[in-house]
């Protein structure tokens, strides 16, 4: 099945800094999603982005499908951005199973 | 829109008992629902895929007799952990794919808030 790798595994920032999280995947994708897992475990959908670029407030994402990677940008980070960011992808098929990367643990310090 | 409700959010039970977790799509019909398991500081691992009206498909290494999945309608799937033991303690999360009118589906998966199971 598809392999999903995220980097960096950990990231520590000062409030106000910008950051870029990367997701590499091993196959062409039918679906690629970015999530933020809050301290209570809830997965928050950030982007559905199998290709192209999207922006939502301080967050934006770009997926270059031909080169098999996606980037999540966080600008002007806030302490509430802390948590684990997951990238997940599926390569299609009958059940469209998402494979998750190991996540990036982001800590934003005041 | 696209709300997935999962209950209970937390359950503590004695070893040997069975626990049922419900996953409901509140404002859309779900073609397919998925059940994941997450251990502390680890990623989500898919346990099984369930399609309405048919048997669930389990991932390799997941005991289907231990983790019973029922998907009786387009809005409800349940996971029952049978004869739970301390090693079954984990965070269980469900997700659902949105079935649009005409049988088409959105590719996006929407996730419930998770259930933290502690088996004593």
Chain segment B93-116, per-residue pLDDT in tens: 999 987 666 666 667 889 999 999
Check if the beta carbon of residue A90 is closer than 8 Å to that of residue A31: yes
Q: Which residues contact B65 (CB under 8 A, 6 or more apart)?
A: B82
**Which percentage of chain B shows pLDDT scores above 70?**
92
Asked if the model's pLDDT at residue B31 lies above 70, the reply is yes
Looking at the DSSP bridge assignments, the partners of residue B76 are B24, B73
What is the reported pLDDT for B112?
95
Beta strand pairing call for B105-111 and B90-99:
antiparallel
CB nearest A43 (choices: B97, B107, B111): B111
| Residue among A28, A89, A80, A96 nearest A61 (CA) | A89
| Residue among B17, B97, B88 nearest B47 (CA) | B88
Pick out chain A residues at pLDDT < 50.
none
Q: Do B108 and A31 make contact, defined as CB atoms within 8 angstroms?
A: yes
Asked if the model's pLDDT at residue B61 lies above 80, the reply is yes
A53 touches B at CB < 8 Å? no
Q: Do A96 and B97 make contact, defined as CB atoms within 8 angstroms?
A: yes
CA angle A92/A90/A66 to nearest 5° reads 90
Contacts of B95 in chain A (CB under 8 A): 98
**Could you tell me the end-to-end alpha-carbon distance of chain B, in angstroms, rounded to an integer?**
37
What is the reported pLDDT for B93?
97
CA distance B89 to B21: 13
Joined tokens for residue A59: 């967050």
Q: Which residues of B53-75 are buried (b: 16+ CB within 10 A; e: fewer)?
A: eeebbbeeebeeeebbbebeebb
Query: CA nearest B32 in A: which residue?
Result: A95
CA distance A71 to A49: 10
Distance of CA B48 to the CA centre of its chain: 8
Q: Do A100 and B44 make contact, defined as CB atoms within 8 angstroms?
A: yes
Asked if the model's pLDDT at residue B18 lies above 80, the reply is yes
Burial of A69 (0-12, 13-18, 19+ CB in 10 A): middle
Using only C-alpha atoms, what is the Rg of chain A?
13
CB nearest B107 (choices: A30, A101, A103): A30
What is the reported pLDDT for A89?
94
CB nearest B43 (choices: A45, A96, A101): A101
Coil vs helix vs strand at B62: coil
Greater pLDDT, B52 or B42: B42
Secondary structure letter of residue B42 according to DSSP: S
Q: Do B114 and A41 make contact, defined as CB atoms within 8 angstroms?
A: yes
What is the reported pLDDT for A91?
82
Q: Do B46 and A98 make contact, defined as CB atoms within 8 angstroms?
A: yes
Joined tokens for residue B45: 């691992």
- Chain B nearest C-alpha distance from A31 (Å): 6
A59 touches B at CB < 8 Å? no
């Amino acid at each position: 099945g598809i392999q999903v790798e995220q980097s960096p595994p950990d990231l520590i920032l000062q409030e106000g800094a910008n950051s870029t999280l990367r997701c590499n995947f091993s196959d062409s994708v039918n679906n690629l999603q970015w999530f933020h897992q809050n301290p209570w475990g809830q997965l928050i959908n950030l982007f559905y982005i199998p290709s192209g670029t999207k922006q939502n407030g301080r967050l934006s994402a770009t997926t270059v499908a031909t080169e098999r990677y996606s980037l999540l940008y966080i600008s002007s980070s806030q302490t509430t951005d802390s948590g684990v960011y997951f990238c997940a992808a599926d390569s299609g098929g009958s059940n469209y199973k998402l494979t998750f990367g190991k996540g990036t643990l982001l800590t934003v310090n005041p | 829109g696209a709300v997935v409700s999962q209950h209970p959010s937390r359950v503590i039970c004695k070893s040997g008992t069975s626990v049922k977790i419900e996953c409901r799509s509140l404002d859309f019909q779900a073609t397919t629902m998925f059940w994941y398991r997450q251990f502390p500081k680890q990623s989500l691992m898919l346990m099984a895929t369930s399609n309405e009206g048919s048997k669930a498909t389990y991932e390799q290494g997941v005991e289907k007799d231990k983790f019973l999945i029922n998907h009786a309608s387009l809005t409800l799937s349940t996971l029952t952990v049978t004869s739970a033991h301390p090693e079954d303690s984990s965070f269980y999360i469900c997700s659902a794919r949105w079935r649009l009118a005409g049988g088409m589906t959105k590719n996006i998966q929407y996730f419930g808030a998770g259930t933290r199971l502690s088996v004593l």
